[in-house]
Structure 1
Amino acid sequence: MAKPPEPGTSAPEFTLPGLRLDGDTAERREYRLADAKGSPLVLAFYPGDDTLVCTRQLCSYNTDLDRFAELGAAVWGISGQDLDSHERFARKRGLGLPLLSDAGEAVARAYGITAPGIGLRRSVFLLDAEGTVRWRHVALAGLTFQRTDTLIRELAALVDAPAAPR
Structure 2
Amino acid sequence: MALQVGDKIPFFTAIDSNGNSFEVRDYIGQPMVIYFYPKDDTPGCTIQACTFRDQYEDFKTLGAEVIGISSDSLSSHKKFASRYKLPFILLSDTNKKIRTAFGVPNDFLGLLPGRATYVIDKNGIVQFVFDSTLAKIHITKALKVLKTF
The partner residue of 1:124 within 109, 114, 117 is 117
Runs of 4+ in 1 over 6 A off after TM superposition: none
Ranges in structure 2 where 5+ consecutive residues have no aligned partner: none
Measured at CA, do residues 113 and 145 of structure 1 come closer, stay the same or move farther in structure 2, by a change above 3 Å? farther
CA contact (8 A) 1:105 1:120 kept: no
The partner residue of 1:56 within 47, 65, 71 is 47
Q: Verify: 1:46 aligned to 2:46, yes or no.
A: no
CA contact (8 A) 1:18 1:98 kept: yes
Q: d(CA) in 1 for partners of 2:142 and 2:134?
A: 18
Q: Partner of 2:8 in structure 1?
A: 10
TM-score when normalising by structure 2: 0.92
Q: Partner of 1:37 in structure 2?
A: 28
Ranges in structure 1 where 5+ consecutive residues have no aligned partner: 20-26, 160-166
TM-score when normalising by structure 1: 0.83
- DSSP-derived class of the 1:28 partner: coil
The partner residue of 2:83 within 83, 86, 92 is 92
Amino acid at match of 1:118: L
Structure with greater strand share of residues: 1
RMSD: 1.4
| The structure with more radius of gyration | 1
Shift of 1:145: 4.2
The partner residue of 1:113 within 104, 108, 130 is 104
Query: What is the aligned length?
Result: 147
